[in-house]
Amino acid sequence: MHIILFDTDVRDALLPLTYTRPVCELRVGVLTIREKWEKMLGTLSSSFITTEYLEPLFPIAIHDDNFLINGSVLPSQGFVDVIRTLNSGEALMLAGELMAARLSKDSFEKLLIKQDLDELVGYEIEPHLIQMLDSLTVMTELSRDQIAFDIRLLGEADQVPDGLEIPGDYPIFIDPDARIERALINASDGPVYIGPQAHIMDGATLRGPVSIGAGTIIKSHTFLSKGVCIGPSCEVAGEVKQSVILGYSNKSHEGYLGDSVIGEWCNLGALTSNSNLRNTFTPVKMWNYSTGAMEVTQKNKCGFFMGDYSRTSILTKINSGTVVGVSCHLYGEEVMSSFIPSFSWGNSSNPTEYHLDKALEAIAIFRSFKGASTSDEIRELLTRIFKLTDIYRSKHNA
């Protein structure tokens, strides 16, 4: 079985996180959406249909038998059961939108040429079987709720090292290779997942739901609660509440991170903190890439959203609903707010363009800190994003 996960217009609603990856590569809970589908369908054979400039890093592969799946849909047992009943040439639709299809190699190639679904036999799927990641503001809650699902999917529930007592009845998995010092871990309010080579230092408090990725360090006296999902190879300190850090990022010092999503390869300076609630307690406004405007969300609590490779300096303050693009360098005494375009340098009231050569140099150095090289494909990807986002800098950084 070969899975092809495809992007739709939902990708625009998930920018800036999807500037650097297809939707299915976003981490929602312990696993990415792609990893969930591979586990549910019992295959490691998967590829992508995404925007043209991402294809060198996320290519498509077409096999003799292909299951085409909407990359923004989270798998459930009910949806998977229906997908397994599909014959070649059949599709599952929801209100006219393709959710999944089964295609032979010949049919798939014809579909790519004709760019329509006329040859598919479509069946409407029950809406209750579909759960989608379709906006930034739902990502923290979906991630919180997916932790227990992912622990069961991994088949690793109720694994706790000898001598470690964890109160609570929710699922718990602590990898045998994780290093737990004198930390407080509590599963009374939600599940706990701690991956291989993770290091939880003495004095840290983890109150589920919480997920800690492979190789991540949780520093002494850190407090994590109410749905924290941290990907691999991160370093985290301070207080974090209902937030997602996709991976390879650092929040190594004190400061508050709440109801927020941080991309990969980001660095939050000491005492960087964000607001997640307006003083009026009214719904938060935030930038929407799909409409190109500020819009009122349905969320009274909403932090900020940061694309890959961005960073803040010491004492940076970030307002509710702020959207920070890819490779921004933020500093200054004022509160960062609203919309900060990719490759911006400075603060939200007087930003300048972050020169591409300098940005690429800093990115390569930071990646090297975690043992990663910076390939020509990554440099080309970032160069394309720099060019694509010039329109926003021209308007907002003028």
Of 326, 346, 383, which is closest to residue 336 (Cα–Cα)?
A: 346
The tokens describing 269, both together, are 């300076």
pLDDT in tens, 356-394: 999 999 999 999 999 999 999 999 999 999 999 999 998
Give the pLDDT of residue 395.
82
Residue 272 confidence (pLDDT):
98
Average pLDDT over residues 24-50: 97
Q: Is-contact 33 26, C-beta < 8 A?
A: yes
- Give the number of C-alpha atoms closer than 13 A to the C-alpha of residue 48, restricted to the C-beta side: 22
Q: What is the pLDDT of residue 43?
A: 92
- Amino acid 263: pLDDT: 98
**Residue the block writes with tokens 């004190």:** 254
The per-residue pLDDT for 112 is 72
Structure tokens at 344: 């911006």
Domain boundary residue among 106, 134, 162? 134
| Coil vs helix vs strand at 289 | coil
CB-CB contact of 167 with 188 (8 Å): yes
The rounded distance, in Å, linking the Cα atoms of 182 and 164 is: 9
Domain total of the chain: 2
Candidates 86, 121, 78; CA nearest to 3 is 86
Render pLDDT for 117-148 as a digit per residue (tens, 0 to 9): 667 899 999 999 999 999 999 999 999 999 99
The 10s digit of each residue's pLDDT in 299-308 is 999 999 999 9
- Measured CA to CA, the distance from residue 328 to residue 359 in angstroms comes to 9
Question: Tokens for 215?
Answer: 């190789």
Distance between CA atoms of 178 and 185, rounded to whole angstroms?
14
Provide the pairing of β-strand 199-200 with 217-218: parallel
Distances (CA, A) of 67 to 4, 47, 153, 165, 261: 6, 10, 20, 43, 30
Structural domain boundaries enclosing 259: 137-396
Place of tokens 């999902």: 229
Measured CA to CA, the distance from residue 26 to residue 9 in angstroms comes to 16
C-alpha distances out from residue 198 to 171, 215, 235, 312, Å: 18, 4, 10, 25
Token pair listed for 131: 């759960």
- The reply to whether 157 and 247 lie within a common domain is yes
In angstroms, the CA 356 to CA 358 distance is 5
CATH, residue 73? 3.90.550.10
DSSP 8-state code for residue 265: S
Q: Same structural domain for residues 232 and 349?
A: yes
Q: Return the pLDDT at 280.
A: 92
The 3-state DSSP class for residue 315 equals: coil
Q: Which helix or strand (DSSP H or E) is residue 374 part of?
A: none
Least confident of 34-38, 116-120, 205-209, 387-391: 116-120
Instruction: Label residue 82 exposed, middle or buried (CB < 10 Å: 0-12, 13-18, 19+).
Output: middle
pLDDT-derived band at 115, boundaries 50, 70, 90: low
Asked whether residue 116 carries a pLDDT value surpassing 90, the answer given is no
Answer yes or no: is pLDDT of 159 > 80. no
Flag the least confident range among 45-54, 165-174, 183-192, 314-323.
Answer: 165-174
Residue 113, strand partner residues: none
Q: Are residues 240 and 380 in the same domain?
A: yes
Residues 126 and 227 in one domain: no
Instruction: With a cut of 80, say whether residue 114 has pLDDT above it.
Output: no
* Residue showing tokens 């003028």: 398
Per residue in 52-77, pLDDT (tens digit) is 999 999 999 999 999 999 999 999 99
Rounded to 5 degrees, what are φ and ψ at 100?
-165, 155
* Spatial CA neighbour of 189 closest among 151, 231, 227: 227
Region for 154 from its dihedrals, namely left if φ exceeds 0, alpha if ψ lies in -120 to 50, beta otherwise? alpha
Residues 110 and 171 in one domain: no
Token duo for residue 155: 């088949």
What CATH number does the domain containing 382 carry? Answer: 2.160.10.10
Among 103, 134, 165, the domain boundary falls at: 134
The answer on 340 and 205 residing in a single domain is yes
CA distance 230 to 194: 10
Strand order in the sheet with 311-312: 311-312, 329-330, 344-346, 352-353
Task: Please compute the mean of the pLDDT values over residues 268-285 and round it to a whole number.
Answer: 96
> Domain boundary residue among 83, 113, 134?
134
Question: Mean per-residue pLDDT for 7-19?
Answer: 97
Residues 206 and 333 grouped into a single domain: yes
Closest CA to 287 of 309, 265, 307, 258: 307
In the chain, the amino acid numbered 305 is F
What band does 156 get if pLDDT is binned at 50, 70 and 90?
Answer: low
- Decide if pLDDT at 398 tops 60: no
Is 90 exceeded by the pLDDT of residue 161?
A: no
> Are the beta carbons of 235 and 250 closer than 8 angstroms?
yes
The verdict on 160 and 126 lying in the same domain is no
**342 vs 396: CA distance, rounded Å:** 11
As a whole number of angstroms, the distance between CA 279 and CA 97 comes to 40
pTM value is: 0.96
The answer to whether residues 256 and 376 belong to one domain is yes
pLDDT for res 348: 74
Same domain flag for 292 and 367: yes
The pLDDT of residue 397 is above 90: no
Tell me the torsion sign for CA atoms 147, 159, 194, 231. negative
Tokens for 350?
């007087």
Same domain, 61 and 120: yes
Are residues 375 and 341 located together in one domain of the fold?
A: yes
